[in-house]
C-alpha cells in the first residue's frame, strides 16, 4: 500500500524537474515610419485631402499613440482636423479647405509626435495652381434656362446665351437673365465657382455667385450653372436662383 502512495510524488518529479522557468518578454522599442505625399496640387476655392499611412517597424502601436498635426497654414486656408491621434487604425486624413489663395507654392508644417520617438517636423508643399479657364467651356446657348425668384415665387423661362471674352481669361458674358432681353448682359467670372460681381445693367443692379457642373442627360457632355443672385430695380428687390441648362 505504501508504494502506491509514493507513485504520485515520483511522477511529479519526473514531469517537472527538467522544465526551465518562462523567459521574460523582451522590451522591444516602438519604431515606425509615416508615408504620405509631401507635394499636394490644388486650386483656389477648392478642397484637398492628405492621406497618410503608418508602418510599424518594431514594438506595438496600441500602447504608443502617435499625434499628427498641421501648422503654419497661410491665410484663407484651414485644415480639418487640426490635430489627430492614431493607434491601431495606422493611418488618417487631413482635409484642406482652400479659399481665395493666390497661385504659387505654400509650405506648411506636418508634425509627427510620439512619446517613444519625440517630435518630427516635416515640410508639406501645397502647389496652388490657377484654375483652368472654364469660361470657354461654359460659352454657348442654354435653351432650357429658368429663374425662380422670391418674394413673389415667380418662375421665368427663357433662352440664355453666354460668350467668353477673347483675350480676357475667366470672363463670361451672360445674356437674357430672367428673360430681360438680349440687351441685358451680365458679366461673370469663372474660377472653381461662378461669380457675378456687383454691377449696373440699365436700371438694374445684380450680383451673386454659384456653381457649374455637367448638365443632365442627354446633355451630360455639356455644362449647366446654378447661380444665386440678387436683382434690384428701384425699390424692388428679388432674390433668384438662376438655372442655365440645355
The total number of structural domains in the chain stands at 2
Do 108 and 188 lie in one domain? The reply is no
239 and 142 in a single domain? The answer is yes
pLDDT of residue 151: 92
d(CA 131, CA 191): 6
Beta strands in 61-203 (DSSP E): 66-71, 77-80, 83-86, 91-98, 104-114, 118-128, 140-150, 154-164, 171-175, 185-190, 194-201
Rounded Cα–Cα distance for residues 231 and 157 (Å): 16
pLDDT at 18: 56
Q: Say whether both 57 and 35 belong to one domain.
A: yes
What is this structure's pTM? Answer: 0.59
Give the model's pLDDT for residue 23. 60
pLDDT in the model for residue 9:
55
- Written as tens digits, the pLDDT of the chain (246 aa) is 455 555 555 555 555 555 566 565 567 899 999 999 999 999 888 899 999 999 999 999 999 999 999 999 999 999 999 999 999 989 999 999 998 888 899 999 999 999 988 999 999 999 999 877 889 999 999 999 999 999 989 999 999 999 999 999 999 999 999 999 999 999 999 988 899 999 999 999 999 999 999 998 898 889 999 999 999 999 999 999 999 999
Give the pLDDT score at 53: 96
Of 97, 128, 159, the position where a domain reaches its end is 128
Q: Which of 71, 94, 128 is the last residue of a domain?
A: 128
Residues 158 and 106 in one domain: no
Amino acid at each position: 500500500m505504501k508504494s502506491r502512495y509514493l507513485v504520485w510524488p515520483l511522477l511529479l518529479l519526473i514531469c517537472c524537474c527538467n522544465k526551465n522557468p518562462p523567459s521574460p518578454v523582451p522590451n522591444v522599442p516602438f519604431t515606425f515610419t509615416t508615408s504620405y505625399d509631401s507635394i499636394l496640387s490644388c486650386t483656389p476655392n477648392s478642397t484637398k485631402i492628405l492621406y497618410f499611412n503608418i508602418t510599424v517597424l518594431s514594438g506595438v502601436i496600441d500602447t504608443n499613440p502617435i499625434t499628427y498635426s498641421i501648422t503654419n497654414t497661410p491665410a484663407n486656408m484651414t485644415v480639418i482636423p487640426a490635430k489627430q491621434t492614431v493607434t491601431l487604425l495606422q493611418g488618417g486624413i487631413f482635409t484642406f479647405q482652400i479659399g481665395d489663395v493666390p497661385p504659387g507654392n505654400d509650405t506648411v508644417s506636418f508634425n509627427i509626435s510620439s512619446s517613444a520617438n519625440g517630435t518630427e517636423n516635416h515640410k508639406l508643399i501645397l502647389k496652388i495652381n490657377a484654375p483652368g479657364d472654364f469660361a470657354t467651356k461654359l460659352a454657348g446657348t442654354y435653351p432650357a434656362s429658368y429663374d425662380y425668384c422670391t418674394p413673389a415665387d415667380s418662375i421665368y423661362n427663357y433662352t440664355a446665351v453666354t460668350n467668353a471674352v477673347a483675350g480676357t481669361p475667366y470672363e463670361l458674358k451672360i445674356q437674357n437673365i430672367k428673360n430681360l432681353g438680349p440687351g441685358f448682359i451680365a458679366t461673370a467670372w469663372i474660377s472653381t465657382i461662378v461669380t457675378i460681381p456687383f454691377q449696373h445693367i440699365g436700371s438694374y443692379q445684380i450680383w451673386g455667385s454659384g456653381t457649374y457642373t455637367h448638365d443632365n442627360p442627354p446633355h451630360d457632355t455639356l455644362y449647366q450653372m446654378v447661380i444665386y443672385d440678387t436683382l434690384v430695380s428701384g425699390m424692388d428687390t428679388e432674390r433668384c436662383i438662376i438655372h442655365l441648362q440645355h
